[in-house]
C-alpha cells in the first residue's frame, strides 16, 4: 500500500506527464495510471477531479467539452505552456530524489 | 425492477445534499459514473451491480465533499472578490443599528420612501443619501456648504444618474443593496474611528463616500467632494469650541 501522501504528491506530475502525450479525460486518466502502475496507484476515482480543477485554476491545463464515440459528453483536458514547464520541474525534482535514493542504496550494498 | 436513470438521479441528490453544488464538478462526476457503469456492463455485470460498483468507486459523497472543499476554498475566495468587484460586496450582512442615533435611524426609514419615489425595488446608496438630505437638512447642509456643494445639486445629480423606473407595484418591504449595507457598516466604522459613540447622519454620509463604488459615492465624487476633507470637517464640527475652553 502506497502512502496517501505520496499518492497525493505524485498526482500532479503524473497527470501532467499523461496529458503531455495528448488530451484526455478523467476516466481515461485514472484507468491509464492504474494500468501503468499495475493497479498499485489506485486513485479513488472521484478524487482526480478536484486535482484537475485545481490545475486548471492555476493555468497548467485547460479543458473543453467534447463527445465520446457513443455520443456521451466528455470533458477533455490538455496541457498548457505553464503545465509543460511545471512538468519539467516535477521531473527534475523526482529524478533528484530518485538519484539520491539509488546512490545511497548502491553505497550500502556494493 | 432496477431503474438506472432513477438510481443516478438519486445519486445526484446525495451529492447535492453533501454540498457538491457547482454544476461542473457534479456533471463531470456523473459522466465519470456513467463511463464506469458502461465499462462494468461491458465486462458482464448487470445494470444494478454495475451502478453499485461504479458509485462505490467514484467515492462516497462525504469524502468527495472534503476533497472539493480543498480547492473550493480558494475558488470561493476568488469568486467573492470578483463578485465584490462586479456587484459590490455581496457578503456583507445588514449591520446592527444599536449605535445609531434616532435621527440616523429616521434617515434609514426615509431611504425606502425615496426608493419608492423612483419605483426602485431596492434601497441603494443613492436613496440613503437622499434620505440624509431630507431628514437632516441642517446638519448636512452646513457640512455640504463647507464641502462646496448644495443639497439641491446632489439631488439633481442623483436624479440624472439613476432615472425613474416604469411605474409598477413595489413590495412593502424592499431590501438594502449589498453596497448600501456595506456603506452602513462603514458609517459605523467611521464613527468608531473618530471616537464618537453614536452613529449620526454625518457618519452615514462618510460611509457612503467611503463605500466608493455606489451611486452616492460617484455622485459626490463628481461634485468634487473628497473623503479626507469631509472627515476633517466632521471632526472640526465635533471638537469643543476652542474659544469656550
Set of cell numbers at residue B199 = 452613529
Q: In terms of pLDDT, which residue wins out, A40 or A109?
A: A40
Percent of chain B scoring above 90 in pLDDT: 4
On whether residue B96 sits in a domain, the answer given is no
Do B186 and B65 share a structural domain?
Answer: no
Type and span of the H or E element at B9: helix B4-18
Taking CB atoms and an 8 Å cutoff, what residues of chain B touch A26? 28, 31-32
Among B10-14, B39-43, B89-93, where is mean pLDDT lowest?
A: B89-93
Range of the domain at B19: 4-80
Q: CB–CB of B57 and A72 under 8 A?
A: no
- What residue of A is the nearest CA neighbor of B71? A54
Taking CB atoms and an 8 Å cutoff, what residues of chain B touch A45? 32, 36, 57-59
Angstrom distance (rounded) from CA A86 to CA A83: 5
Q: CB–CB of B63 and A44 under 8 A?
A: yes
Mean pLDDT of chain A: 88
CATH number where B125 lies: 1.10.1780.10
Q: Looking at the domain covering A4-109, what would its CATH class be?
A: mainly alpha
The burial of B85, by beta-carbon neighbours within 10 Å (0-12 exposed, 13-18 middle, 19 or more buried), is given as exposed
Q: Taking Cα atoms as reference points, which of B24, B22, B21, B26 lies closest to residue B8?
A: B26
Mean pLDDT of chain B: 77
On whether residue B40 sits in a domain, the answer given is yes
On whether residue B244 sits in a domain, the answer given is no
Q: In terms of pLDDT, which residue wins out, B178 or B77?
A: B178
Type and span of the H or E element at A63: strand A61-67
Vertex B111: Cα angle to B226 and B87 (nearest 5)? 65
Residue B190's SS3 state is helix
Angstrom distance (rounded) from CA B205 to CA B45: 70
Q: Taking Cα atoms as reference points, which of B25, B27, B101 lies closest to residue B65?
A: B25
Do B143 and B34 share a structural domain?
Answer: no
Domain boundaries, chain A: 4-109
C-beta of residue A80 within 8 angstroms of C-beta of residue A96: no
What ipTM is given for this predicted complex?
A: 0.70
Beta bridge partners of A65: A75
Angstrom distance (rounded) from CA B133 to CA B107: 9
Number of C-beta neighbours around residue A62 at 10 A: 15
On whether residue B90 sits in a domain, the answer given is no
On whether residue B217 sits in a domain, the answer given is yes
> Residue B19: left (phi > 0), alpha (psi -120 to 50), or beta?
left
- Of B80, B113, B146, the position where a domain reaches its end is B80
Read off the pLDDT of residues B164-175 as tens digits, 9 standing for 90 and up. 666 776 777 888
On whether residue B88 sits in a domain, the answer given is no
Do B162 and B73 share a structural domain?
Answer: no
Do B109 and B74 share a structural domain?
Answer: no
Q: How many domains does chain B have?
A: 2
What is the structure's pLDDT at A9?
84
What is the structure's pLDDT at B243?
45
Type and span of the H or E element at A99: helix A81-109
What is the structure's pLDDT at B87?
47
Do B118 and B32 share a structural domain?
Answer: no
Shortest distance between the Cα of B166 and any Cα of chain A, in A, equals 42
On whether residue B112 sits in a domain, the answer given is yes
Q: Write out residues 29-88 of B within 8 Å (CB-CB) of A.
A: 29, 31-32, 34-36, 38, 57-59, 63-64, 67-68, 70-71, 74-75
Do B215 and B116 share a structural domain?
Answer: yes
Shortest distance between the Cα of B92 and any Cα of chain A, in A, equals 26
The pairing of beta strand A73-79 with beta strand A61-67:
antiparallel
Percent of chain B scoring above 70 in pLDDT: 76
On whether residue B89 sits in a domain, the answer given is no
Beta bridge partners of A61: A79
Amino acid at each position: 500500500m502506497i502512502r496517501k501522501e505520496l499518492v497525493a504528491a505524485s498526482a500532479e506530475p503524473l497527470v501532467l506527464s499523461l496529458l503531455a502525450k495528448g488530451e484526455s479525460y478523467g476516466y481515461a486518466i485514472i484507468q491509464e495510471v492504474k494500468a501503468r502502475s499495475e493497479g498499485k496507484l489506485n486513485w479513488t476515482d472521484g478524487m482526480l477531479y478536484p486535482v484537475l480543477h485545481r490545475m486548471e485554476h492555476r493555468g497548467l491545463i485547460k479543458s473543453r467539452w467534447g463527445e465520446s464515440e457513443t455520443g456521451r459528453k466528455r470533458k477533455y483536458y490538455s496541457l498548457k505552456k505553464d503545465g509543460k514547464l511545471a512538468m519539467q520541474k516535477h521531473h527534475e525534482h523526482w529524478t533528484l530524489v530518485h538519484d539520491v535514493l539509488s546512490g545511497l542504496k548502491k553505497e550500502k550494498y556494493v | 425492477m432496477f431503474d438506472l436513470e432513477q438510481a443516478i438521479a438519486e445519486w445526484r441528490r446525495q451529492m447535492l445534499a453533501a454540498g457538491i453544488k457547482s454544476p461542473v464538478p457534479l456533471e463531470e462526476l456523473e459522466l465519470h459514473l456513467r463511463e464506469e457503469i458502461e465499462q462494468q456492463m461491458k465486462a458482464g455485470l448487470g445494470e444494478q451491480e454495475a451502478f453499485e460498483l461504479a458509485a462505490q468507486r467514484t467515492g462516497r459523497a462525504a469524502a468527495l465533499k472534503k476533497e472539493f472543499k480543498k480547492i473550493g476554498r480558494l475558488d470561493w475566495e476568488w469568486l467573492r472578490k470578483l463578485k465584490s468587484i462586479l456587484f459590490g460586496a455581496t457578503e456583507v450582512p445588514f449591520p446592527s443599528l444599536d449605535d445609531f442615533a434616532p435621527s440616523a435611524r429616521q434617515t434609514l426609514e426615509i431611504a425606502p420612501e425615496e426608493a419608492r419615489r423612483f419605483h426602485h425595488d431596492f434601497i441603494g446608496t443613492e436613496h440613503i443619501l437622499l434620505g440624509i438630505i431630507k431628514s437632516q437638512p441642517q446638519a448636512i447642509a452646513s457640512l455640504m456648504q463647507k464641502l462646496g456643494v448644495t443639497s439641491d445639486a446632489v439631488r439633481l445629480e442623483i436624479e440624472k444618474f439613476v432615472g425613474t423606473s416604469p411605474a409598477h407595484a413595489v413590495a412593502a418591504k424592499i431590501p438594502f443593496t449589498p453596497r448600501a449595507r456595506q456603506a452602513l457598516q462603514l458609517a459605523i466604522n467611521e464613527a468608531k474611528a473618530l471616537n464618537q459613540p453614536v452613529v449620526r447622519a454625518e457618519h452615514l454620509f462618510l460611509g457612503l463616500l467611503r463605500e466608493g463604488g455606489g451611486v452616492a459615492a460617484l455622485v459626490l465624487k463628481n461634485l468634487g467632494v473628497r473623503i479626507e476633507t469631509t472627515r476633517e470637517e466632521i471632526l472640526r464640527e465635533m471638537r469643543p469650541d476652542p474659544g469656550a475652553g
